[in-house]
Amino acid sequence: MGFLSVGAPAAVAADGGGRLAGAGLEGAGPAGSGADRAGVGAGARGEADALLLRCRALVRPALAGAVGRLHPWTGEMAAFSLGWADVDGTPEPGASEGKGVRQALAVLGAEAVGADGRVAVAGAVAVELVHAFSLLHDDIMDGDALRRQRETVWKAYGTGPAVLAGDALFALAVQSLAEVPSTHTGPAVRRLGETLTDLVRGQADDLCFEDRPWTGPDAVRPEAYRVMAEHKTGSLLGCAAALGALLGGAPEATVAALDRAGRHLGVAFQAVDDLLGVWGDPAVTGKPVHGDLRRGKKTYPVLAALAAGTPESRELAALLEAAAPGAPAPGRPGTPEAPSPDPVDAAGTLDDPAVAARAASLVERAGGRAATMREAVDQLAAARRCLRAVPLRPGPSRDLDALLAFLLHRAV
């Protein structure tokens, strides 16, 4: 296994990404936006891609320099996780680096308050490193073998090394921000620390949800899931935009507004991600069809469907309970009542593609898919209201607005 030197940044390639093909969000824009209701056009997609590319190009040298300070082995794993190299450390320019949404939010946050985007680079590096760390550990906890059509770090290098690489990225994020020679450094580091606490809280809730029942008083409700999503996904997006504004010298009210906007965007992101987890195109997501359902994950579409109170909701609940791990089969010891002719009782497990497909159909018929689309659109509208509540520079503000809308229509 070779070690990669990442000190010299390679050319930044545009990330083509993909629309939410088959996930049902092609025409879901915020209320009052006719263009968004008709879908995001090629011009808007090109504008957003150009914004993301510009911000990645600004941040990439500092990000590569930070990763280059790591131990060669953890640095190699970090480069692999960031899409810069393959598993033997060879540069891989064709791999997806991701869109760089968080670093873009940091740069645009600074520009929106009238500062040069370069003042936000250290903040952008910090949030990108935290994001990489969180994905790396999240893949371990979820057992995901693929991300962006490649092996995940734990699958390629082993669980122990992947945990170590994640720890290294976490520490490097804090160090990179703490070294900024600015009067705003202390508040920036405190904000990052609060964000890390929120992120871990959200991840803990997500894992705890897996052990809670589908129905009954201890079931997870959509409201609880929304709070989890804000912590797990929204906190870092909010931190990114807020750090840009803070390092740009903005007043606290503006910093807080950008943080709230990012948190709303995070819930919208999670809603989109949940749609992709059930109905996304595997060629785009890199994950199996109905993957979240087959793993029994409690995602927003399923929880909204269960909460709808329709006949389809009840049928879905029966199927999920019957297919849950450890559920007794009808007519076997431990079954409290006699077998029923209802085919739900013979459902099998959610790992069965036919059972997962049936569950996905019930989720849609019970309104879970539509409810999730509405949630994403509503959260995007709330993010925009936050941005409009404070004075921001017109040009960067339009950039932020365009980026928020466009990201809702892309694979997360």
How far, in Å, CA of 163 to CA of 109, rounded? 31
> Over 90: is that where the pLDDT of 291 sits?
no
How far, in Å, CA of 280 to CA of 17, rounded? 13
CB atoms inside a 10 Å sphere around CB 104: 29
Mean pLDDT of 245-264: 98
Q: Are 93 and 100 in contact (CB under 8 A)?
A: no
Share of the chain above pLDDT 90, in %: 66
Residue 134 pLDDT: 97
> Over 90: is that where the pLDDT of 84 sits?
yes
> Over 60: is that where the pLDDT of 48 sits?
yes
pLDDT digits (tens, 9 = 90+) for 6-45: 333 333 333 333 334 344 444 333 333 333 433 456 677 7
How far, in Å, CA of 239 to CA of 260, rounded? 9
> Over 90: is that where the pLDDT of 158 sits?
yes
Q: Of the given ranges (26-40, 88-102, 193-207, 363-377), which has the lowest mean pLDDT? A: 26-40
Q: Cα-flanking dihedrals φ and ψ of residue 62, to 5°?
A: -70, -35
Q: How far is CA 399 from CA 3, 101, 275, 391, 402, in A?
A: 38, 13, 26, 15, 5
> Over 70: is that where the pLDDT of 115 sits?
yes
Share of the chain above pLDDT 70, in %: 82
Q: H-helix or E-strand containing 395?
A: helix 394-407
Residue 10 pLDDT: 36
Helix axes 42-67, 159-178, angle to 10 degrees: 90
Residue 342 pLDDT: 42
Radius of gyration of the chain from Cα atoms? 22
Q: Of the given ranges (58-62, 236-240, 326-330, 389-393), which has the lowest mean pLDDT? A: 326-330
Residue 30 pLDDT: 36
> Over 80: is that where the pLDDT of 248 sits?
yes
Mean pLDDT of 387-393: 97
How far, in Å, CA of 221 to CA of 213, rounded? 11
Residue 149 pLDDT: 80
Average pLDDT, whole number, for the chain?
85
Token pair for residue 255? 């910093």
pLDDT winner (highest mean) among 284-288, 344-348, 365-369:
365-369
Around 324, how many Cα atoms within 13 Å sit in the side-chain half-sphere?
Answer: 16
Q: Is 357 exposed, middle or buried (0-12, 13-18, 19+ CB in 10 A)?
A: middle
Token pair for residue 272? 């989109």
How far, in Å, CA of 97 to CA of 178, rounded? 25
Amino acid present at 257 = A
Task: Assign 326 a pLDDT band (cuts: 50, 70, 90).
Answer: low
DSSP 8-state class, residue 85 = B
Reduced to 3 states (helix: H, G, I; strand: E, B; else coil), residue 91 is strand
How far, in Å, CA of 144 to CA of 136, rounded? 10
Cβ-based neighbours of 401, under 8 Å, separated by 6 or more: 384, 387
> Over 90: is that where the pLDDT of 69 sits?
yes
Q: For residue 85, what are the β-bridge partners?
A: 91
Residue 40 pLDDT: 53
Of 77 and 290, the one with more pLDDT: 77
Residue 327 pLDDT: 54
> Over 70: is that where the pLDDT of 217 sits?
yes
Q: Of the given ranges (71-75, 87-91, 248-252), which has the lowest mean pLDDT? A: 87-91
| Sole residue written with tokens 């609880």 | 224
How far, in Å, CA of 303 to CA of 228, rounded? 13
Residue 378 pLDDT: 96
DSSP 8-state class, residue 150 = E
How far, in Å, CA of 8 to CA of 6, rounded? 6
How far, in Å, CA of 230 to CA of 113, rounded? 24
How far, in Å, CA of 10 to CA of 17, rounded? 20
Residue 289 pLDDT: 75
pTM of structure? 0.85
How far, in Å, CA of 135 to CA of 374, rounded? 26
137: Cα separation from own chain's centroid: 13
Residue 390 pLDDT: 97
Give 79-86 contacts, CB < 8 A, sequence gap 24+.
79/4, 79/6, 80/153, 80/156, 80/157, 81/132, 81/135, 81/136, 81/153, 81/165, 81/169, 82/132, 83/148, 83/150, 84/4, 84/6, 84/10, 85/4, 85/6
| Pick from 331, 319, 327: nearest CA to 355 | 319
Residue 400 pLDDT: 94
